Chain A
C-alpha cells in the first residue's frame, strides 16, 4: 500500500507538471547529441537568464488578476524600444541612458496599458485573443510612429539612424553606447563565464517587489478578482479598474524588461525585436510549469532555464540527427507554439471540468434542499 501511494504521488506530480518533465526529457536527449560543452551551456544559460527573466516576471501580475497570459506585453516592449531610440539619438550613454529610456517608456507604457486593459474589459471572456490581436494593431501604430513620423514630425538629431529616404528609423539601431552596461557593472568572471551580478540584483529586486505586492491591498484585490470576479465585485472591489491596473503594471514592467534585454543584445532590430518576444516569454513561463491561471516566481526561473537550453541545443541536434540545422530551428519554433497550445488546452479542459463539477454539486445540493 505504501508503494502504491508513492507511485500515485509520483504520477500526480508528473501529471501536474507534464510540460517541464517533457522538456527535461527533450533536453536530456538533445544536449549530448548537440555536442556543446557544459561550460559553454552554463555560460549561455546564465546570460539568457539575466537577459530574459525581467520580461517573463512581468507576466505574473496579469495571471494573478485572472487576465490570463498577457500577450499584450509586446506593447510594453514597443514603449521600451521607442525610449531607446530617442535616448540613443540624444547620445545619452551607459546606465544613465538605460534609466532615461525606462523613464521615457513609462508614460507610453501606461497609455498603451490603459488602452489594452479597457479593450480587454470590453471583450470579457476573450481577453487572450484580444490581447493577441492588440499586438498587431499597436504594431501598426508603432510602425506609423517609427517608420513615418520619426524624422518627419518627431525630430531626430542624427541622420545616421534615419532611412535614406529622409524619414523613418533604419532596420537596426546600434546600442553600442550602452551595450552590456548593466551587465558589466559588478560582473564576476569565473572560469571563462561572466556573471552579470548587477542584472541579477535588479531581477531579484523585482522578485521581492512581486512578493511584497501580493501582500498589499491592491495585490489582494487582484487575487480576489482573479479567483472570482462576481465575488470580488460583491466585496466592493472595483473589478474593471483593478484589471486595468494589472495590465498597466505588466506593460510598464515589460518595457523595463525589454530595455534590459536590448542592452544585453547591444543592437535593436527596430521592427522585429518585439514581435517574437511575447510568444517566447510566454512559452518559457509555461515550460516552467505555470498555467493560464497560476504562475509563480519558481516557474519563471525553471522555465527560462529549460526553454533556453532547448533553444540553444535544438539546431545543433538537428544538424547531427538530420543533417540540416533548419530542422532544429523549425523544431524549436514548433515546440514553443506547441507548449502554448498544450497549456491553453489544459486550461480550457480544466475550466470545463471544474464548471461541470460545480454544476453537478449545485444540482446535488438543490436536490438535498428540495427533499
Chain B
C-alpha cells in the first residue's frame, strides 16, 4: 500500500497509480480480461461485430435489473439480494398480461401496468421488514427472496390461470415452467428502431428504454427526496438531524428497487423470448449484484455509470468467454470462470471497509 501512496515525482504516473487504486485491482483484472477477449475474437474466427452485437443484446436485457440495485444501495439498505421479490412482481404482471389476452407490442406495457401494483405491495412489505432489521439486511434479503420464490412455486401450480398458452396441456391447470412469448411481447422493445449494419445489430429500442429509466433515476436522485435518500445511506446521523424520516425514505427506496426489478425482468423476458417460472428467479440476484460491483459500486455507493460499465463488462465476459475459449483451447470453462469472477467480485466488495459507521 505504501508504494502506491509514495509520490514518484512524475505526475502522470501518480495519476495512473491513483486511478488504479480507486478503480480497484479486481476490476482492472476483469476489464483487462474482457479487452483481451475482444482482441482475440477475430483471431479465433469469431466475428468482432457479431460478438459486439451479442454483448449489446445481453447488456440491453440485463441493464434494468442492475439499475434496480441503485436506490437501495443509495439508502443504505445494502446490496439487494432480495431482487427475486421484484422479479416475482414482474412475473405476475407478465403472466396476467397473457391471461387477459394482450398481444404484441402493447402486451409489454400491459405487463408493466399489471406488475406495478404487485411491486408496490411486495416492495412495501419488504421495505417494512428491512426497516425492522437494520444492519442485517443482506442475509435476510437473500432468504426472503428464496422463501418467496419457493412460495410462488406452489402458487404457480395453484393460481387459477386458464390461458392455453401458459397452462399444462393434460391437467389444464398449473402454469408451465417456460412460457414462450412468441406473439406477445417478445422483442417488443428490441425490434423497435433496431439498427442492422452488416454483422452489427443494435437493439436501439431496449437501450432507449433503459436510458429513459436511467435518466429518470438520475434525475430522481437529484431531487429533494433523492438527495435525502443519499443522505440516509451515507450519513444517517446527519439525515436524522436534518429532520429526514429515515424509515420512510428507506421504504421508498425499497419500493423503487422492487418496481425496477419487476420492469427489469420484463425487459429481460422480451429479449430472451420466454417467461421462466418456478425456480428460475432463484439465482437471479447474484449476477445483478456482481455486475454492479464490477462496475465500481460498493455496498453503500453506486452511480449510473457503475450500472452501465458493470453490466457491459459482466455480459461481455458471459458472451465472449465461451466462444473465444472454445475456439482456442477446445475446453468450455466459461461457466466456471463466470462463477469464480462474479462471486469473487462480491466477496471483494463485502470485505471492503464500509465508509459509513452506524
Contacts and interface: CB of A to CB of B under 8 A. Distances in A.
Query: Does chain A touch chain B in the assembled complex, meaning CB atoms less than 8 Å apart?
Result: yes
Interface of A: 119, 122-123, 125-126, 128-130, 132-134, 136-137, 139-141, 143-144, 147-148, 322, 324, 326-327, 330-331, 333-334, 337-338, 340-341, 344-345, 347-349, 351-352
Interface stretch (B103-111, B126-134, B247-255, B264-272): B126-134
Nearest to A136: B343
B351 A344 contact: no
Contacts of B133: 345, 348-349, 352
B333 A337 contact: no
Contacts of B335: 143
Contacts of A144: 333, 336, 340
19 contacts: A119-B347, A125-B135, A130-B350, A133-B350, A137-B340, A137-B343, A140-B343, A144-B340, A322-B157, A322-B158, A334-B151, A334-B154, A337-B146, A337-B147, A341-B143, A344-B143, A345-B132, A349-B133, A352-B132
Interface in B138-179: 138-140, 142-144, 146-147, 150-151, 153-154, 157-158, 174
For the complex of A and B, the 9 pairs showing the least CB-CB separation, nearest first, are A140-B339, A334-B150, A348-B133, A122-B351, A137-B343, A140-B340, A348-B136, A341-B143, A330-B153
Interface in B302-358: 331, 333, 335-336, 339-340, 343-344, 346-347, 350-351
B336 A133 contact: no
B184 interface: no
A129 B339 contact: no
Contacts of A126: 138-139, 350
A334 B134 contact: no
Nearest to A338: B147
B200 interface: no
Contacts of B61: none
Contacts of B331: 148
Contacts, number: 106
B336 A140 contact: yes
A136 B343 CA distance: 7
Interface in B161-207: 174
B143 A129 contact: no
Decide if the interface of chain A is mainly helix, strand, loop or mixed.
helix
Contact of B139 (A129, A134, A324, A326): A129
B336 A344 contact: no
B157 A327 contact: yes
Given A322-B158, A327-B157, A341-B147, A148 B340 contact: no
A359 B346 CA distance: 33
A346 to B, nearest CB: 10
B286 interface: yes
A130 B136 CA distance: 12
B24 to A, nearest CB: 15
A103 B346 CA distance: 32
Decide if the interface of chain B is mainly helix, strand, loop or mixed.
helix
B81 interface: yes
A319 to B, nearest CB: 13
Contact of A129 (B81, B132, B344): B81
Contacts of B146: 337, 341
Residue from A119, A128, A133, A352 with most neighbouring chain B CB atoms (10 Å): A133
A307 B150 CA distance: 17
Given A119-B351, A123-B351, A349-B133, A330 B140 contact: no
Nearest to A322: B158
Contact of B336 (A122, A134, A148, A330): A148
B343 A348 contact: no
Interface residues of B, number: 35
A133 B347 contact: yes
Contact of B344 (A137, A322, A348): A137
Contacts of B138: 126, 129
A82 B174 CA distance: 41
B147 A133 contact: no
Nearest to B299: A126
Contacts of B154: 327, 330-331, 334
Given A129-B81, A144-B333, A337-B146, 15 more contacts: A119-B347, A122-B351, A123-B350, A129-B138, A133-B343, A136-B339, A140-B343, A324-B174, A338-B151, A344-B136, A345-B129, A345-B133, A347-B136, A349-B133, A352-B134
Contacts of A351: 135-136
Contacts of B135: 125, 348, 351-352
A272 B138 CA distance: 25
Contacts of B143: 337, 340-341, 344
Contact of B340 (A119, A141, A324, A347): A141
A122 B354 CA distance: 11
A139 B339 contact: yes
A143 B339 contact: yes
A280 to B, nearest CB: 13
A344 B135 CA distance: 12
A270 to B, nearest CB: 14
B157 A344 contact: no
B339 A137 contact: yes
A147 B158 CA distance: 39
